Each structure stands twice: as structure tokens, then as C-alpha cells.
Structure 1
Amino acid sequence: MTNAPLPPVDAAELTARLIRCPSVTPDEGGALVLLQDLLESAGFDCTRVDRGEVSNLFARWGAKGAAKTFGFNGHTDVVPVGDAAAWTVDPFGAEVKDGMMWGRGATDMKSGVAAFVAAAVDLVTQTPPDGAVIITITGDEEGDAVDGTVALLDWMDRAQEKMSVCLVGEPTCPNEMGEMMKIGRRGSMTAFFTVTGVQGHSAYPHRAKNPVPALARLVDRLASHELDQGTDHFDASTLAVVTFDTGNPATNVIPAQCKATANIRFNDAHSSASLTEWLQAEADRVAAEYDVRVEMKVKVSGESFVTPPGPLSQMVSAAVQAETGVEPVLSTSGGTSDARFVQHHCPVVEFGLVGKTMHQVDERVDVAQIHQLKAIYGRILRDYFA
């Protein structure tokens, strides 16, 4: 495949153009249209894979089914700006001052998308590789993530499109550029408990069945239980009780019902099924002890996974060290990402910018680091196809 020569893509300028697209989940905001135009001009075959209210983009340069196919994954949707009056800049203005570019999505993760798109376009137009490059970009990472990367992977399966390996460009560095990459993620699940007793007068508690102490006992047992002490690639699993509600404004009434919610971030010592079984056993135990009804619903956001250290992580680590002078720690910390879906398709790792201001008011990114990230991605691509 041959393409007309294109000048190198300025990743910072592309980031600014993407920030100016108000792509708050699930609105596309023009971001994918912008990227599709650029990628098609570089010879990528692009397909919009929209599902539900979500817009997604698949782009491939090179032959379908190539023996070596490097993939990138990212998202252009952003969280809401919150209180717009609290911002010192236009949240969608991409203003640059003091070497920083400001705006919603500057860090999470329009800069990452711009960097890998710029690196990929430069590669295929200047030194076309023997293989293929695939780019998958969703507009549903910050939302329910049901019709985003999952929809892209479903479509790829039907279309027999395949990535050999994939890099997700999420922010991965806590404080310093290059200090951390992700080789896996903890699983995440949320349990919703509803305890129902019998309402009554607080002066006559023997005539009621108070759900409050029952639920208090349940959440105490859950929160004080040590799930594990960590595994080879993961820190210890955690459980956090995040709500406890009765909705009862009266001081002389024992409520009939109260609710609590707990979120678990778990490592590869567990599965959502094994944890659900444990949670249910504890709920049943409290129900029997207090003679109340305990109902539980569970939502699983993702299972834990790890891509064991090997050629892919070594290649990414070497490129990061060459461009930054910093050897990244191989980590599985943090929340969930779309890598949890990609890991079913091919080996996947994550590397991106410093994420300190993501989702905050006055989100911003160091412009120099955008160029540095493009250089890292470009080196990874050259090394992969060498």
C-alpha cells in the first residue's frame, strides 16, 4: 500500500482539535469524524461501528489478516465538566499557558489518542511497515462501556479482523512521565444490599424487626474481612462500603428497610463468582441471625487479568526508557479500563501520560509530554515491525 507523503502530524495540535470537540459521553462531538478524516487521508480503511447511542471507529492500515498487526485502543469521550464556573478556562477551549494545555479530556485521554494516531500516521506514510496497524477508538469508555470497545471487538470478530497485540493509551503514570505501565487490572464488582425487617415504634423495639443493626453487622463483617494478602502481580484485594442508607427522617420510628453498597477491587486470587458466593453466604448468615430478609444484587464491571511480563511489556518498557530515561514499573493498580475487554482478544498492555488532573476541574496536560508520548509510541511501532 502506498500513500501520498504527508507532513508529520503535530500530536499537540491534534490534541487541541480533539479537546474542542465536546464529546461528553455518549456524544460523539465531532471527535471521531476528525480522526476518520485524518486516518483516511493516510490510507487507513475506516469503519464506523456505532451501536446503541455510542459512536466507535475502527481503522486499519495494511492487509487484513497480516501476520503482524499492532493495535491501539483509546477513547474520545470525556466526563462532564461539572461546575463550569469553577474552571479558570473554557473546558473545551484547549487553551495553552505555562506550557500546559487545558481542557476536558486533555489528560484522559484525547492526548493519548492524538499521540498514537500521530505516531501511526507518520509510520505508515513515511516508513510503511511489513504488516498492519489497527486503531480502535470508542465513545463509551467513561459511560457504561457496553456499546464501546465491546462493540468494536464484537464487530472485529464478525469481520475477522485481528490484532496480534494491543496498547491502550490510558494515562498510567502517577507523577512522572514514564514511571509506570499497566500489565493488568484488578477486577471490579459492586454489591447492593437491601435488608427488610418490620417497621415499629422506637420505644417498643420488641414489636419491630430492626434492619439497621442487621445491616451494620453485615457491612462490618465484610469491611473487616481480609480478602487476601496480594498475589505475584497484584496488591491485596480491597472492599469499601460506599453507602449506608435508611431514608428515615424520624427519630421515633424503626424503619422497615435500609440499604448499603460495597465495591470490591479484586486480584487474580478471586473471581466475581467466588466473591459473589462469599457475599451471599454472609448475607444469609445475617438474615438468619436477625430474622430479617436480606436481598443482594451484584454488578460486575470486569474480572481481574494480567498479561504476564514478556516480549510485549519488554518492548514497551524499552521504548519508554529510551525516550524518557525512566524504567517503568509494571503495575496492575488503579481502576478499570477497556483493556479488560481487549485482553480476551490479544495480549494487551497500557501506557500513557501522567494522570494527576484527569476528571478534575481545570484538567490539563504538559504539552511537551504529548510530543514525548508520540515519540514513545513511534519507537514502539518501529521496534515491533523491525
Structure 2
Amino acid sequence: MSEYIRVKGNIVEKTGGVSRVYAKGGIEHNSNGFIDYFAENYTYGEPEKYVSVFPKILYVNGHFYNEDGTFEGKVNEVENEGSAEDVYTCTGKSKMKNEKGEEIVTYNNIQLLKENEKNITHSDFCYIAYVVKMEAGEDDFKELKCIAYTSFNRSINVKSTWKKLLSTSYSSVGNKKEMKSSLDDNKSKLTRKAIFYVLGGEDDLTNGAELWDGTDFLAWGNSEMNPYNKVGQNKFDEYKFIEIPKDIYDSFLAANGNSTKYGDKGNHNEKNDPGTHEHVKKKVKQIIKGKDGKPVLGKDGKPTFEEIEIPSKIKYKIPASDFENKDYWISGNFYYDTGVKATNGISGTINAGKSIFWKLTKIRLTSDNPK
């Protein structure tokens, strides 16, 4: 292949570095006028080895996601290295020419994702993404990062894989499955970004948290009969103590408002129902039945109805009375000794969204009793 360039004017080339010309045969300079060389020094030596002007291209298989969480594409070629189940981040894709001069699609600045030094599979990645996404309330990147890092921390502590942990009752998400790569809504993309954040080794903003709770913790405390006919939130029965630095508590409280409602399962004995919560009922019509169990018919021969009230919602004031008890704020931070014989207590490390995140601790970590 030859290249012939002919111009009627001048050709000026400027470069900020070194300009090199390689040729397998000779290099000729011809001029009808003169040839000028301007340089402080001239050197002569052996011909240098050709250096490709094309960037190095890695031919690998895998699923490729933009750093913003967008799915860019999948590669699965026999001649490529790696598995199509590998997952990479990239900064987009572009077209360029390879060393043969062929135009190809490339993924830019790729980074292989690993979980504890092992390539994470695309199947596991999508499963983790689905659960983390469903655990978060809003399109809140901070909350998604906290949920991702907290569950990842827990998986390490219990010596499990991330996906396996999330498949257990550790996560209350129902009907768990893999999140589709094609989803490009904001929450899906932010969820993937949160997982990139964790697997990329970014700073753990949860400070080692392994557990978290939502609005129910503030609504039930250890004094309200919850919808499952049990007094209090389960953390008060499982850990030696509960502590929350005041700034984290204030942020958590502000995020959850003044009240919340849960579905009423109709299992409360309202004559002996601890707490100040309110049972909200709704009126419905039902068919009146006789002693024989058959509908009572009206003059028109049609079934008759009556209006009754049935359980609908349980409304809880936020916060529960425990959090307003000054005895638990003597140090300036919330501290509740549960009396439970357990090895660890839990300490709030951060609020994100409507959730608070917990670190397992054996001693108080707040400023009045530093670690």
C-alpha cells in the first residue's frame, strides 16, 4: 500500500515531543531548491525499532459498564482472553483502528471487578445489584453506597460471598433475582455505581458497619407493640447495648418525619396494647348472613349488606418514647443498656436516606468513652 501526498503550498509539522519516521526501505529527501536542518546537535546511529502509533488493545471477554452505571455491551469471542461472565467498568466506548488498520469498537480504560481477589461473575453482580437497589428507599447514592458497603462488610465478617449473604434472611427483600443489564433508570445506574465504589476499594463511609435499620427502629423503640404483636424493635433483644451519637441520631430523626404507618394485621389486643400508637380502621360493606350461613335477602331478593370497621393501618409517632427519655441521654448521646447477655453492642456510624447503619462493638465508641 502506498501513500502519495502532493500540495501546492507548504507543509508545516509541529510536535511537542519527538517526531520519528520509520521505513523498511530507505528514506529520501528531494528538493528543487535546498534542504535545511536546524538543530543544536546531530547524532547518527543504528536504525531504531519500529514503535506502533496505535494504542495497545486488550482483547478480553466480559460485560462492560460505564462508570456512571450504564451498560455498554458484552463481548464473547473465542480468541479473546477471559470469560464473558467477567465484569468490567469503563469510561465509554469508541471506534478506532487496530494494527491492521481495521476499525473496531473498543471499551475505554477498562477495570476488571474483583471480590476479595476473585473475579466477580456477572450473575452475582446483577443479583447483588437487585437486592441493594430494593433495600434502598430512594435514588439516594449515599444510602446505596452505605447499604452496599455494610452488606459487603458483613459478608467478610461471616466468611461468606456477598451474593450468598444477600440470598439469606440478612436481607428482607422478597423474590430476589438478578437485575437486568438493560435497566437504565437512575436508581439502577446509581446502584451499580455503589457496587463499583465498594469493589474499587473506595473509602468505607460506614466506618465498618455490618447492619442497618430503617424507620421501624425509631417508630417502635423498645416500648411500642409492633405489627407482629411483639413489643419493640428486634435490635433491643439481640445486642448488649445500643448507642447513637447525637449528630447521627438528629440526622436519622430528621429524615423520617413525625409519624409512619404500617399495615395492621389485626393481631393486637387493644385492651392491653403497649405504647401510644393508633389503630386506624376503615369502613367496608359485607353481606349479612343468617344463622345458617346463607345471605339474608332483602325484599328485592338480593343479598343485604352492613357497614363494619376493619383494621387498616397502625400509626406510630416518631420517635418512640424511649428516645425521648432523658435517662438514655445522660452522656449527650443516646445509650441504652438492654440487659441482654450478648458479646456485642451496636453503635450508629452514619445516617443515609431513612436508614441508620450499625457497627458491632464490645465497648462504647462515643466521645464520653472513646475506643
TM-score (norm 1): 0.27
Which structure is larger by alpha-carbon Rg, 1 or 2? Answer: 2
- TM-score normalised to the size of structure 2? 0.27
**Greater RCO structure (CA 8 Å; 6+ sep):** 1
More helix by share: 1
